[in-house]
Structure 1
């Protein structure tokens, strides 16, 4: 349930209002479809590695192992920063949602939600799991109801008893608002909305029977998500005009979902939808705070050399990394800046930062997969030994993800430069690129000796030769600039081996699919 609905949150419920106001209905639908297709291929690439090597750390670990330890260090810190800023973004979004009912001291609301989230994550991990499960269930039910209501509103079941059809695509300025600049700006909002899908691989190390379940998760869950996204976005573009008052500006952002429910003519329905959006915001903040805390803890316990201060490795008896939790949650102080610059403007900047961070994660998955596939072929291992292979993405999948995603990162900041330069917007679009470069070079400099000699290929790591007592030289595995040598990376370490329980489960499934009730079982497995 968390996998299906964990990525459905602020980006869909609130970010679509910003996308519609800045790009129009056509730009929004096209951009979300493009980003969705990129993310789908990205998940397939991640699924190959996560099925073969179901380890903790997911794409961060794969980037370190197959591409570059220095880049993996920078990526891990960037992903922690992504989660920390996401908490601030969600708390700011809560202020925008609450403006539907009241304008009373929004910073107080953010403070109360911040305390609630910290307390939940400071308790046992089951508190996080239970909260996420029920909030995810509520989001799925609500989106199904919204799709039904959106269709009814469009065909005339609204307060004006008027058939809308495609009228909002033909009003002045639509369907493409702001020309190419407006179109380009929607990409970062779409990336923000789809962010988190890559976190499905993070659970690989704790997934039962990953050889069967990880491919199913990658292939089916994303189609459920993209079905929810594209249908919802199509109905929003049809039912809500891009120039709806208060849809998105410096002080406020209104959810199109609430607007559609309001068009039924029932304020109670609109309040219900807004309440669900508020719980969705809390769910997104809860997920980001949990993930960010674990990423920072993982950095502190990395071996052989920790990549974060050891204080963040301390945990309670229940296994809760309190210092990492407090450090991650402290970044949320950014949300209080909305009292001075406007909640809508601040949320827009935070959304840009998180969206670009998500794109960097997708590029990194593409780079890791590119090097992983190169190593697999270069070392002569047959493709039949891959537990899961997205055959139709060979060999173009990794370069497609890397090139298209990097192109989005460059293009989406068009509006911050043309027709007039906006320094603050430009920084929100591109600040993470130089930060990643600085962190990459810093780790490369700190570990400059292992880079030149090869940490994994140092002579001290090799077994003694038969004729001497000194270790025999082995091929170097780490090259200049910290790049891993694909000819010598160990492709057998951490490979998953199906145990007896996995084999029994597979046999039971095969018998069910061959029995009399096979069609019912096929339907069950497809839905469940």
Structure 2
């Protein structure tokens, strides 16, 4: 796709622009800038992810195990209205983050996504700090999801635990090492399973609620009236306790959405990334609304917030409020179906963590912020050293076979529990910096491959929200008599770790913050003009109604 004087709100401007920037008038600073997309990315990686893959990878990232298993805890913490408002507000933040990511990724479609964007737009030290933070979290995410998969398997059988872990590690490795197109197909299949399950359980929930099950009365919104729309958090009376319950739901909801930011980490392996990545980002609002908000709404109608069964934390389908409602309605097959699909969700999350970790590590190696051995790729364009290294770390899943070792493992995992908020904050900050550079350099936002007039405001709102969530993530430990060391660590330790990593690289390498004139906007626009993407035809007929995957 090249620059142009015809601006398409779906994809951006096209060939023929008469702006002075399209003629290649670069400042002396930007004339010296290296290519935005590195030669190694173009040469060594394979562009095998299609629009269909990217759309469904984004969808798979938006629907995690938290949607199926954690809604009961949210209902118990905040009540039906508190849970609904909490997920709605976090959904709004996620939408703002995704639009910001889409706009910046369309201009800078590089491997490593927002990590590399931080270097291009602000300071290489920020890219180093956030990159290694993401790598650390993603590397531990794989054994964590494999351990979760083992818990789900134990819903049916508790035999051969070590064998199941071994199978999950091997299959995850094979999906990652063979060909990135295989990964895309696997995620497409898993996303379709999730769609079928969530549509099915929402319909099932509505049938149960409206009295469609023989022998059961219509429930309606009775649980919104009794025990009530909100829950007093930790027994704190009055409006303050209800507000804290809502706030606790919002903090927990953040982690249910984790993973949505990973859809552009493999931009250099995506066909027509300047068009396909924004298209995927744009559909986040529909996914959030249809899947999360409707799910929370239906759950709030099916189960009362004071139901004792919500206290159970089995980690498998038996803890799902959908299962509670179905079991009480006499629908016995639902628990196994939900458990099976949640099992695929856990494996999908494991695959996504491996993709994120390996591509961010590859991107760090490109900028000499990681050992150069991680740049080695197979003939099919897979960074195989990164994959092997992360698979080796995945063997930490065997620690789940020992209760003591599992405790230590989760302490390690707690260190980056807040990492998702750090990533969202950086994505928003990158977008703000890009628009500041546009203004400073006198470039209209309509020259961007993809832009919206309102995103600069939503990015500021998302950045402020992420900072507030970070600072209040562990607020419960400061309530008298409620101190918990693990909660404090998971909520706050990641903040000084990222700051220390930033300062270390800044002083070790002597990096400096880029001035707004140095941000390579013109160089990126020149690359777009010199390497145009073929325009993707617009959907026609019934396909125009599809807001979910493409």
Alignment equivalent of 1:155, drawn from 187, 206, 210: 210
SS in structure 2 at match of 1:23: helix
Alignment equivalent of 1:282, drawn from 342, 347, 360: 347
Cα distance in 2 for partners of 1:158, 1:415 equals: 40
What is the aligned partner in structure 1 of residue 264 from structure 2? Answer: 201
SS in structure 1 at match of 2:156: coil
Q: Is the 8 Å Cα contact of residues 21 and 177 (structure 1) preserved in structure 2?
A: no
Deviation of 1:240 after TM superposition, in Å, equals: 2.6
Q: Is the 8 Å Cα contact of residues 209 and 498 (structure 1) preserved in structure 2?
A: no
Cα distance in 1 for partners of 2:98, 2:393 equals: 29
Cα distance in 1 for partners of 2:399, 2:172 equals: 19
Cα distance in 2 for partners of 1:130, 1:214 equals: 17
1:25 to 2:25 alignment: no
Q: Could you say if the C-alpha distance between residues 131 and 101 of structure 1 is closer, same or farther in structure 2, counting changes exceeding 3 Å?
A: same
What is the aligned partner in structure 1 of residue 473 from structure 2? Answer: 412
Question: Once structures 1 and 2 are overlaid, which stretch shifts more, 367-376 or 234-243?
Answer: 234-243
What is the aligned partner in structure 1 of residue 515 from structure 2? Answer: 485
Root-mean-square deviation (Å): 3.2
Deviation of 1:195 after TM superposition, in Å, equals: 1.5
Q: Is the 8 Å Cα contact of residues 184 and 412 (structure 1) preserved in structure 2?
A: no
Deviation of 1:393 after TM superposition, in Å, equals: 3.0
Q: Is the 8 Å Cα contact of residues 62 and 259 (structure 2) preserved in structure 1?
A: yes
Q: Is the 8 Å Cα contact of residues 80 and 305 (structure 2) preserved in structure 1?
A: yes
Gaps of 5+ in 1: 452-481, 513-517
What is the aligned partner in structure 2 of residue 313 from structure 1? Answer: 375
Cα distance in 2 for partners of 1:140, 1:95 equals: 23
SS in structure 2 at match of 1:421: coil
Q: Could you say if the C-alpha distance between residues 222 and 288 of structure 1 is closer, same or farther in structure 2, counting changes exceeding 3 Å?
A: farther
Cα distance in 2 for partners of 1:365, 1:188 equals: 19
1:364 to 2:431 alignment: no
Cα distance in 1 for partners of 2:398, 2:187 equals: 25
What is the aligned partner in structure 2 of residue 63 from structure 1? Answer: 118
What is the aligned partner in structure 1 of residue 483 from structure 2? Answer: 421
Deviation of 1:418 after TM superposition, in Å, equals: 1.4
1:226 to 2:280 alignment: no
Q: Could you say if the C-alpha distance between residues 309 and 108 of structure 1 is closer, same or farther in structure 2, counting changes exceeding 3 Å?
A: same
Q: Could you say if the C-alpha distance between residues 70 and 435 of structure 1 is closer, same or farther in structure 2, counting changes exceeding 3 Å?
A: same
Alignment equivalent of 2:503, drawn from 419, 427, 441: 441
Q: How many residues align?
A: 483
1:48 to 2:111 alignment: no
Cα distance in 1 for partners of 2:190, 2:541 equals: 32
Alignment equivalent of 1:187, drawn from 250, 253, 256: 250
Question: Once structures 1 and 2 are overlaid, which stretch shifts more, 180-189 or 219-228?
Answer: 180-189
Deviation of 1:294 after TM superposition, in Å, equals: 2.1
Alignment equivalent of 2:459, drawn from 398, 415, 423: 398
Cα distance in 2 for partners of 1:343, 1:19 equals: 29
Deviation of 1:265 after TM superposition, in Å, equals: 1.4
What is the aligned partner in structure 2 of residue 119 from structure 1? Answer: 174
What is the aligned partner in structure 1 of residue 17 from structure 2? Answer: none
Q: Could you say if the C-alpha distance between residues 104 and 175 of structure 1 is closer, same or farther in structure 2, counting changes exceeding 3 Å?
A: farther
Per-residue CA distance 1:243-298 (angstroms, 9 max, x = gap): 44554556646233433443441322321221111111111111212221222232
Deviation of 1:171 after TM superposition, in Å, equals: 4.5
- Superposition map of 1:316-355 within 5 A: 316-333=378-395, 335-338=397-400
Gaps of 5+ in 2: 1-55, 234-240
Q: Is the 8 Å Cα contact of residues 146 and 350 (structure 2) preserved in structure 1?
A: yes
SS in structure 1 at match of 2:515: coil
Cα distance in 2 for partners of 1:142, 1:331 equals: 32
Q: Is the 8 Å Cα contact of residues 43 and 198 (structure 1) preserved in structure 2?
A: yes
Cα distance in 2 for partners of 1:117, 1:409 equals: 32
**Larger RCO, structures 1/2 (Cα 8 Å, 6+ apart):** 2
1:494 to 2:524 alignment: yes
Deviation of 1:210 after TM superposition, in Å, equals: 4.5
Cα distance in 1 for partners of 2:101, 2:174 equals: 33
Cα distance in 2 for partners of 1:243, 1:100 equals: 25
Alignment equivalent of 1:81, drawn from 136, 158, 162: 136
- Superposition map of 1:381-396 within 5 A: 381-394=443-456, 396=457
Q: Is the 8 Å Cα contact of residues 92 and 347 (structure 1) preserved in structure 2?
A: no
Cα distance in 2 for partners of 1:65, 1:319 equals: 24
Cα distance in 1 for partners of 2:300, 2:163 equals: 34
Q: Is the 8 Å Cα contact of residues 283 and 547 (structure 2) preserved in structure 1?
A: no
